[in-house]
Amino acid sequence: MSCNNKALLTGNKVVVILLFLLSLVHSSESLRPLFACDPANGLTRTLRFCRVNVPIHVRVQDLIGRLTLQEKIRLLVNNAAAVPRLGIGGYEWWSEALHGVSDVGPGSKFGGAFPGATSFPQVITTAASFNQSLWEEIGRVVSDEARAMYNGGVAGLTYWSPNVNILRDPRWGRGQETPGEDPVVAGKYAASYVRGLQGTAAGNRLKVAACCKHYTAYDLDNWNGFDRFHFNAKVTKQDLEDTYNVPFKSCVYEGKVASVMCSYNQVNGKPTCADEGLLKNTIRGQWRLNGYIVSDCDSVDVFFNQQHYTSTPEEAAAASIKAGLDLDCGPFLAIFTEGAVKKGLLTENDVNLALANTMTVQMRLGMFDGNLGPYANLGPRDVCTPAHKHLALEAAHQGIVLLKNSGRSLPLSPRRHRTVAVIGPNSDVTETMIGNYAGKACAYTTPLQGISRYARTLHQAGCAGVACAGNQGFGAAEAAAREADATVLVMGLDQSIEAETRDRTGLLLPGHQQDLVTRVAQASRGPVILVLMSGGPIDVSFAKNDPRVAAIIWAGYPGQAGGAAIANIIFGAANPGGKLPMTWYPQDYVAKVPMTIMAMRASGNYPGRTYRFYKGPVVFPFGFGLSYTTFTHTLAQNPLAQLSISPHNLNSVLFNSSSHSIKVSHANCDTFPKMPIHVEVANTGELDGTHTVFVYAEPPINGIKGLGMNKQLIAFEKVHVTAGAKRTVQVHVDACKHLGVVDEYGKRRIPMGEHKLHIGDIKHTILVQPQV
């Protein structure tokens, strides 16, 4: 071997050693004390529950069999106690990841090597993208960052997200956390985000454990003297089956979620966390949940101390566990479960069943495997990466909705609009953009900063905060608008107006915001663009009808990169393609509809709720959103126009003569032909753009009592089409799944008659009839 080769080899060894040392540094950043089954602890070698080659259910039973009753009870709460004699650490179950890892729950915290995490747009904004692959990808990124933080010892592996309640009432302060008003969209969002979070590992393993909340019919926090701790939601079987429970069923069936959270409220006189019909019989029985059921925080305490549902705390503990609750967020079960067992209200086996569900999830997460598993390599460098930040920006681009664009005022031109007045209480905000249940963002780009990348800016807040109590700043705002080539007003809401425990009383812009918009629009010498930040809808009819307001953009709460996304859309670097995931009602709607009425369907003077049942005027409808280009739809092939249901399609020939329908449970749905619908989408404009194809079904009018449905979204697809090109979207219509409706008894039926499919301006009729 030559001297040169020896030197080369020596140099290679040095490089290898350096790389090895660097890997150790990275590992030291990400290693945390093992939760259980540490190989360094000689005790664990004798414990069967630590053996990874043993089936999980056997390991769980072995562990439960080694615990005393007192040890078991201390594991029924979110801050589960350690069991040192078995080498098991304490664990905090409560972490949140609604749209990024959050420090709202005690299980996760920021600081040191983890100063922040990627903060994506609030859920209502991301839902407006109607992009299922985006929803799943966000979940995947969030779980990467969650695992990295877990490895670093600053987060858990159980995340009580997403919130999949229906945005039934536009005033609800937590509507921002949800995917909107449509149960199908909420269900698809739930399944997609959960798949992203939990991963698709073999062997039933979990990357992190998600939780769909708040089950069920929970959508009132604090309105007109009614609060969520005392509210009894009176819900019909029909509404429960075809609206409120739909996202949760999808979350369990399609998303395979590892947990469901029961809510504070009662449903028809029973606390949800003590309702065996809702928990044990439905979630675990009918839907076959493979996971655990957890209470919203202090819910068991709430139904004892505030709802007075039971006479003693021991009865409350017993009622919740026997109903199917496995874990209490709060100390109640740790305090009163032993007394319930001693009084014979509960057996130790009831406790064992609850623990089996929680421990199984921990086993599936790898917490008893004696190592950090396949995600051990994730650490600080995997949080707030350039790719993650770019995804947050792209999510904001896709979720922002263009509501008005008179005379194609947008996009602005950096050449013609060199000076832009940026005005409004939300024009230079940071935390407002990430909404609630957020963490510490990696970094922010405010609207002012984003617009400053394209033009010289003149900035005036106009109001001191969104409450906009006075008009002292109006003059300076008007002066800026007179000097500028264009004016961008960034108005709307924040958590002081809509939030958890804070429902709105009306739908108008707060304080003097409307006056500020009107006065600035009158003063501006260039086009005026109104940008709205909010979770819930706002009645901006005045701006919609004001010719001096050239454009309106709804940005929702657009996340850490929201300001950059808003600016990119205003100046045409991104083409808006978002669609509203909720109806924007006029202000007088809320005067007719108390938040406490849970009915979805119109009746008498009651106008109904959401696009599915409401028949009155709107400011902007569900699914509305403009683009800088134009799209047309055509049916690419002649779809099926008739479906005949023959006796061999039925378990028993049971036609209901009064409703002229068939129960879905009596139909052999697998034998029904799937009806393919091919929709050709043509981009007839000059810019590339994305478009959402919505397919609605309108059922026939027949004898099904209380149906009252306008139409129901059955499918949606996001498609990108370049200028002048065409793309074909294929949707398969399933008679049982898509043409079924729910009767007054909560049973799904397929009505006979003409079902109309609505696809844009196209209407296609499918005649469903019994074969004689």
Residue 728 forms beta bridges with which residues? 680
350 is catalytic: no
The phi and psi torsions of 102 (rounded to 5 degrees) equal -120, 155
Q: Which residue has the tokens 């663009």?
A: 529
String of b and e for 291-311 (b: at least 16 CB within 10 Å)? bbbbbbbbbbbbbbeebebbe
Q: Is residue 627 helix, strand or coil?
A: coil
What span, in angstroms and rounded, lies between the C-alpha atoms of 475 and 421?
13
Q: In what order do the strands lie in the sheet with 689-698?
A: 642-645, 762-770, 753-759, 689-698, 712-721
Q: Which residue has the tokens 């966000």?
A: 138
Residues 168, 494 contacting (CB under 8 angstroms)? no
Q: Which residue has the tokens 């705002």?
A: 477
Spatial neighbors of 441 by CB under 8 A, at least 6 apart, are 100, 116, 117, 118, 119, 430, 434, 559, 560
Q: Is residue 531 helix, strand or coil?
A: strand
String of b and e for 207-246 (b: at least 16 CB within 10 Å)? bbbbbbbbbbbbbbbbbeebbbbebbbebbebbbbbbbbb
Q: In what order do the strands lie in the sheet with 232-233?
A: 232-233, 266-267, 270-271
Residue 254, amino acid: E
Q: How far is CA 667 from CA 156, 334, 647, 735, in A?
A: 45, 47, 9, 10
In Å, the largest CA–CA distance within the chain is 98
- Characterize the bridge pairing of strands 551-554 and 401-405: antiparallel
Catalytic residue among 221, 239, 296, 328: 296
Structural tokens at position 175: 């509507």
Residues 467, 510 contacting (CB under 8 angstroms)? yes
How many Cα atoms are found within 13 Å in the side-chain-facing hemisphere of 710? 16
Counting every residue written for the chain, the total comes to 772
What span, in angstroms and rounded, lies between the C-alpha atoms of 164 and 581?
13
Residues 720, 687 contacting (CB under 8 angstroms)? no
DSSP state letter for 411: S
What span, in angstroms and rounded, lies between the C-alpha atoms of 141 and 115?
17
Q: Kindly list the catalytic residues.
A: 296
